[in-house]
Chain A
Amino acid sequence: MNIAENMDIEKVAATLPEPVTDSLAVIRNMVSACIQCGTCTGSCPNAFAMDLTPRQLWYNVLMGDKEAIFHSRTFFLCSVCYCCTLRCPRGLPLTEAMSALKQTAAKENLAPYKKSIRFYESFMESVRRHGRVREMEFMTLYFLSMKNPFIPIQFVPLGIKLMGKRKVFFEIPSKGSGVLESIFRKVEALEQG
């Protein structure tokens, strides 16, 4: 059951890099006062689709079990609704902790989460190039990065509907003005720093 986004686990199992351990320490601090009450699980609209419930995920974070954490699809199933954060009796920033796990997976480019990571990175790439996201460019970048012709096919009906209404236009990815380039660079420098 603990197969994240239907990818090959063995490939990652042996190769969780050192920085994962470091960032896990930060996330562990965020949930260190967790009393395992399960209010987060009871509040989560996506819990039905998760392999580990949110409560179980936090248990694994507290135990530092990075193998269990980074083989679970749970944190990328967080849709950032903030119900758990609102209701947590210990007042823990659980949604932010979910996002911190996503950030760790994205930084280390962990294979099980390829689809979600590529999706968010394609979005940010379009923003980096143009300052504002161009919805069709972003989806094109996403499809190109996935290298799987079956993914775009699912979006054809909606794409045609939206183009028919002139809400989106076919767009070949382009270089853009780079208005946010210096901000992106500075953030990268601080994060490495």
Chain B
Amino acid sequence: MKYLYYPGCSLEGTALEYNASTQAFMKGLEVELSELNDWTCCGASAAEATSFLLSLALPAYNLAMAEEMDGSKEILVPCSACYLNLKKVEEKCRKDPELHDKINTILKEKNLHFHGQVRVRHLLDVVAHDVGPAKIIPRVKNPFNDLHIAPYYGCQCLRPYPVFDDPEEPRSMEPVIKAVGAKIHPWNMGGRCCGASHMTTKPEVALELVTGILKAARGADAIVTVCPMCQMNLEAYQKKISEKAKEDLHMTILYLPQFLGLAMGLTEQELRLDLNLSVTKNFRAKL
């Protein structure tokens, strides 16, 4: 299996471990990733809050560059915000030829043309469906039979485009978590919002949302995520949240490829577990 790879800006900064673990995990499965040359920002949630056209032009620029690359026409994206921005331009251009032309007028500034020939895929979609339990099970070296995992999907890999999972009751992570022996923590918070960038501009609102998620995860050994924004919101404010809630809500938060990679015998160093902001002593004791 081969994919083009779009890491996105967070994976070069606050989510370095998501980048390292995605690459290590995929290598372990003999999946080949070719990073998109000279990729740029997808616009995140900021372009959309300032300009509709810019919020489509930025991802379209990257997809147009992807079309010029040889090899796979499927582009793997680990960050849910990047995924949605890239997916959105793919979907909108297909349905709206006038908008498609307008986007290409902009891309002409860079001598590029977006044809609509690449398919945008979220990492979770690829892990759950292209890789799947069948390729993971034979590679498991450390089965996690004692662990209960709360799968957290967040919003933007599920909605508004229900590409690979149920956007209300997501389940796609469960078979791959079970493939490494772990049990699923029963909860209904997997697709609930973490507050996204409210954590910076309206922290009181985002903290409330994250508190609800951490409380619902009580009893689990870890929450597993597939988005840098979700990961940061869930892991970085646990002390403050615990103090305010007057109970210990500390919880291990791992990226999905980190968790699966550990079971496959990849080292903590390869998966950059040292960069996570919340891995509890209890969790470490069970590894």
Contacts and interface: CB of A to CB of B under 8 A. Distances in A.
A46 interface: yes
B208 A48 contact: yes
Contacts of A81: 155-156, 159, 193, 196
Nearest to B200: A119
Interface string B44-58: 111111111111011
Interface of A: 45-46, 48-49, 76-77, 79-83, 85-86, 95, 99-100, 102-103, 106-107, 115-117, 119-121, 123-124, 127, 131-135, 154-155, 158, 161-162, 165, 167-168, 179-180, 182-187, 190-191
A12 B51 CA distance: 22
Nearest to B41: A127
Given A86-B167, A124-B46, A183-B110, A79 B52 contact: no
A154 B9 CA distance: 23
A187 B18 CA distance: 32
Given A131-B40, A165-B275, A167-B14, A182 B9 contact: no
Contact of A79 (B50, B198, B203, B204): B198
A131 B109 CA distance: 15
Contacts of A100: 52
Contact of A187 (B15, B53, B206, B208): B53
A81 B196 CA distance: 9
Contact of B275 (A86, A158, A167, A182): A167
Given A103-B48, A121-B46, 16 more contacts: A46-B195, A82-B156, A86-B160, A103-B49, A103-B51, A117-B49, A119-B200, A120-B46, A127-B41, A127-B46, A132-B39, A135-B13, A155-B200, A165-B277, A183-B106, A184-B54
21 contacts: A46-B209, A82-B167, A83-B155, A86-B167, A86-B168, A100-B52, A103-B49, A103-B51, A103-B52, A117-B50, A120-B45, A120-B46, A123-B46, A124-B46, A132-B40, A132-B41, A165-B275, A167-B13, A182-B110, A183-B54, A187-B51
B44 A133 contact: yes
B186 to A, nearest CB: 21
B203 to A, nearest CB: 7
A115 B202 CA distance: 9
- On chain B, which size bracket covers the interface? 35 or more
Q: Which 9 A-B pairs have the closest CB atoms?
A: A82-B159, A123-B46, A81-B193, A182-B109, A81-B155, A131-B40, A120-B46, A102-B49, A120-B49
Interface in B177-232: 192-193, 195-198, 200-206, 208-209
B54 A161 contact: no
Contacts of A127: 40-41, 43, 46-47, 58
A85 B159 contact: yes
B50 A180 contact: no
Interface in B26-85: 38-41, 43-55, 57-58, 61
Contacts of B40: 127, 131-132, 179-180
